[in-house]
Amino acid sequence: MRVLARTLTAAVGVGLLLVHAAVAVAWFVGLQWLLANPPGPATIAVAFLGVVVVAGYVGYRTGTVRLVASLDAVTIPVERAPALYRRLERLCSESQVDQPTLLFADLGAPNALSIGGPRRGVVVLDRRLFKLLTIDELEGILAHELAHMERLDTLWNTLALTAARLLVGAAFALLFPAVVLLAGVERGGAWIAGEPGRSRLGLAGYVRQVVLLGLGALFSLFALGFLAYSRRQEFAADQRAAELTGNPRALAAALAKIHRATTPREGLLAVLYIHDDRTEHRDRRLSTHPPIDERIDRLLANREVSPSERVSRLRPR
């Protein structure tokens, strides 16, 4: 019985190895054919851009709907905040943004985020902001979010992430035969050795891990570039908000108050918030937002302008 069990275990191992090898060979043959008949660089570029634009735009539209639904937000009635709506109407008239839907929700901390672009956008305010900020400070927050919408920041972020995923996916596709074959050697070898339940990290396992770590490092490089771009977006939105309101000190005061009252936000949603407290606790290169003190310093360097001066400076960037 022991010999029979040992034989069956080895047979399973050989079968696993053969299946993985067959998949790897088939994929490799397909890659060989593709490399032997490569499309022109222009065709590759057009196809890549087409996939990025279509996939990114679909993700942008569907993601916006899902995100609003997940926040359990409700519309802010005009009669509850008439002064805020008057400020919003004026800001929209001076920018290239249609008046967005104003929602309030429990974001877990006093914060704000914008969803969508200059048409059919949404601004979500945490309920705590209405107690924490003055009307001038709330106007600064609204202007900041409108600036993101005016610049199509959410769409550009979605396209950038889509492009990064496609590039990493293409790299993985090139290395897929090696990854599959090495996985077959590792798993099949364990069965052949009679230890299918044990994790045996031999040479094949180490090489496979190195390949996967290399792909992870490639994606990390793209992620660092995206985070740096996101921080520049925040500076640009702050500057545009200062131009729209003519009152940079109000936005600076709002950021300071939010900073003191905010706990760190985690996950991809952090890129949408007006403030990310992680800048004070971790490597700033890993944050979606620049340091709050730097943002405040830049805002305070702007002098307040009169309405007539503001009109002459209000040009979309």
Active site residues: 145
Going along the chain, which residue ranges are E strands? 74-75, 101-105, 112-115, 122-126
- The conformation of residue 273, written as its DSSP 8-state character, comes to B
- Tokens, residue 222: 């793209």
262 within 8 A of 109, measured Cβ to Cβ: yes
Question: N- to C-terminal Cα distance for the chain?
Answer: 78
134, 139, 138, 114: which is closest to 124 by C-alpha? 114
Sign for the pseudo-dihedral over CA of 157, 159, 164, 165: positive
Sign for the pseudo-dihedral over CA of 46, 51, 56, 61: positive
Burial label for 254, CB within 10 Å (0-12, 13-18, 19+), is buried
Cα–Cα distances in Å, from 133 out to 105, 125, 225, 261?
16, 12, 33, 11
Phi, psi of 47 (to 5 degrees): -65, -45
The SS3 of residue 197 is coil
Given phi > 0 = left and psi -120 to 50 = alpha, else beta, which region is 121? beta
